[in-house]
Amino acid sequence: MRPVLSVVLGASLLLVGCGTRSTDFSDLPGDAAERAKLCFGAAQTFRKAGADAGVDAAELARRQSIESEMREATLIDDFVPAGAWEAFDVEANRQLNTGNWLLDLNRCKIGYGIGEPEPLPSLPEDEGDRLFVCAMASAIKARGSDVSRPIILQHDPQGFHFAHMLVGREGVDRLASRMTDVHRAGGRILLQGAVDSFVDRCVEEHPTAALDHPVQLPEEEPLRAGICSYVSGALIGGGADNPLRGEYLPRVERLAVPLGRAGEGISPAELRLLEQEIEKKVGALGPSTSIFAACEKAYLGDASIT
């Protein structure tokens, strides 16, 4: 006969192995209610996104199973009263609009010990499509789901850079064509739930897109002044809808005087040629804010505003 202690210990280990999950909440909110809402919301969005994308019945059933497991593991029903589910759904939709719900889901699956993390979506193979996704993902990261107008690429420094890389590759008309249905393009990216992952991979592939990338401006004038004027316009254009305008308007005004002197005497014909060259050159330099900082240093020196 086995010793009583061995029997009890063996039974206890069996119960632990079968009845509980290994949990690790170190990468999740510490508050149980906040964590439950985040994680169940991510699982719910995962299921809804699959339905919206038209996944097959087996995949939809798998997603429903993950949602059910997350419901049980998080004890979400203890934190959301019966009459508060409508408000919870509103919050879950907000989570969808951040574009990172799949990343949240994977953190939650790891945290609650629910299966393996979901594979992250890949960037398109075609380089033009890839750069466009990089531009849109950067803008979504900066602005959330407010991507209904093409000007959003102008208002995000990294989105500006990727968009102008695309202009250098395909021309401005092709970019304009891609932007004709910017709302739908943004929606497709949001539905993949991995905006931050897209941006990280885009910057890894194109280090010039890093916000701290040092920019080397061309020395020749009036090209350098033209680039600085072009970027200045991007940083303050769009009125109150531009989140960069408040910070950059006084800086642009200060830079305008030396830029005006550098651009004196250019004929209209020269200006048209210069504009075409600027659109191509800008895409090789970096984010708009980094270019502008280099412009301040070039024209204002120690008097530049940092």
Tell me: the pLDDT tens digits for 19-68?
Answer: 455 678 988 999 999 999 999 999 999 998 899 889 999 999 999 999 99
Contact 238, 245 (CB under 8 A): yes
Dist. CA 106–CA 114, nearest whole Å = 9
Q: Say how many Å lie between the first and final Cα of the chain, rounded.
A: 80
Proportion of the chain above pLDDT 90, given as a percent = 54
What amino acid is encoded at 44 in this protein?
Q
pLDDT at 174: 85
Dist. CA 278–CA 280, nearest whole Å = 5
pLDDT at 39: 94
pLDDT at position 18 over 50: no
Q: What is the CA radius of gyration of the chain?
A: 26
Least Cα distance to 287 among 126, 142, 171 occurs for 142
Which residues have a Cβ under 8 Å from the Cβ of 47 and sit 6 or more positions away? 60, 63, 64, 66, 67
pLDDT at 59: 96
Contact 263, 225 (CB under 8 A): yes
Output the pTM of the full model: 0.82
Structure tokens at 287: 């984010």
The pLDDT tens digits of the residues spanning 132-181 come to: 999 999 988 887 756 656 566 778 899 999 999 998 888 888 888 888 77
pLDDT at 3: 39
Residue 14, H or E segment: helix 4-19
What amino acid is encoded at 76 in this protein?
I
Residue 300, H or E segment: helix 288-300
Contact 228, 269 (CB under 8 A): no
Give SS3 for 123.
Answer: coil
pLDDT at 303: 55
The residue extents of the domains of the chain are 30-112, 127-209, 223-303
Dist. CA 114–CA 178, nearest whole Å = 39
